[in-house]
Amino acid sequence: MADDSIRGISRRKFIAASGTAGALALAGCTQQNTGGGGGGDDNGSGNGSGGGSLSGEVIITGSSTVFPVSNEFAELFMDEHPDVNVTVDSTGSGGGFENNFCPGDSDINGASRPITDEEVENCESNDVTPVEFQVASDALTVAVNNEADWVDSMTFDELSQIWRDDGAQMWSDVRDDWPDEELELFGPASTSGTYDWFNENVIGEDYQHTAEHEPTEEDNLIVQGIQDSQYAMGYFGYAYYSENEDSVKAVEIREEEGDDPVAPSLDAASEGTYPLARPLFIYASEAAAEREEVAAFLEFYIENSGNDTVAEIGYVPAGDDVIEENMETLEEISG
């Protein structure tokens, strides 16, 4: 989804292109009139800054994982404030920081992992101060072809063997009873926060992510690659799996041998039992947040990050404590 042509696309067009998202229910997550920290309506919209008097532009770049949430909220916000143009461009977390946000060319950057010290320094060298807001949680999903009946679960070590540089080349290199067939790997590009998170938390600090895979910022191309080959494997955010769960098979994950394998789900991510659960973020420029239209959009985003819209997209909504903390931070930077 890094193609410039998707800049500002509506969620309706996004879903038409990538498959209809199923409505996902979380235990205790019911439709509500507030987005956790503020007022809204039954479409998940908050009261923002009120009425249609706002005007201007809000530019969002960054994570393909966070993209569906930002794009949905952009559309809902523009329904309430038609004179504000909110554009959303999926560039990858790192790509967005380096090429758009830190140079001062975007107001908000989505990220599927925390900003790095190097990125903070890059931003500050351009007089951009990034401010972090956690907006959801994800059950990062490892998937294989539906016909890969030899594999149902894997450990972190086995995943590392497959995905690290100079790692396994054949399925049988990992387990003797797996096919003597070459692994075909599809995954995020190195500009992706999902790539960075997987490299740090699964592959391990002693290894580097393999370059012998088909890299893309278009998560649905990863799904397509897995679907087209019996010996393929890939990984991506849970929202993309939830849209394609009939097309590919999710692998249950065990952190270590002897652990019970856990399938990716919003419940498991919310409960903390799924080993590949991770937080999702947006980062706002402190200077941009002083603009009325950006502050109003951030307020809208934060208020609604705890409601059913996020769960329907395929992520765990933010909790009340996270929303409260985010609102306090926003008040501090926006005045």
In the predicted structure, residue 111 carries a pLDDT above the cut 80: yes
pLDDT at 241: 96
Nearest-angstrom CA–CA distance, 7 and 294: 18
Residue located via tokens 């952190």: 255
Mean of the per-residue pLDDT values for the chain?
87
Give which of 232, 301, 279 is closest to 65, Cα–Cα: 279
Set out the domains of the chain in order of their start, with CATH numbers: 4-138+279-334 (3.40.190.10), 139-271 (3.40.190.10)
**Which pairing describes strands 130-139 and 316-317: parallel, antiparallel, or unpaired?**
antiparallel
Residue of higher predicted confidence among 263 and 19: 263
Range in 19-28, 166-175, 254-263, 312-321 with the lowest mean pLDDT: 19-28
Handedness of CA 1, 144, 277, 212 (dihedral sign): negative
In the predicted structure, residue 4 carries a pLDDT above the cut 90: no
Q: What distance lies between CA 42 and its chain's CA centroid?
A: 24
pLDDT at 67: 97
Query: Of how many residues is the chain composed?
Result: 335
Tokens of 322: 């996270």
* 137: enclosing H helix or E strand: strand 130-139
Give percent of the chain with pLDDT exceeding 90. Answer: 82
Pair 286, 131: CB distance under 8 Å: yes
User: pLDDT tens across 56-107, in order?
Assistant: 999 999 999 999 999 999 999 999 999 999 999 999 999 999 999 999 999 9
In the predicted structure, residue 299 carries a pLDDT above the cut 70: yes
User: pLDDT tens across 226-272, in order?
Assistant: 999 999 999 999 999 999 999 999 999 999 999 999 999 999 999 99
User: pLDDT tens across 131-183, in order?
Assistant: 999 999 999 999 999 999 999 999 999 999 999 999 999 999 999 999 999 99
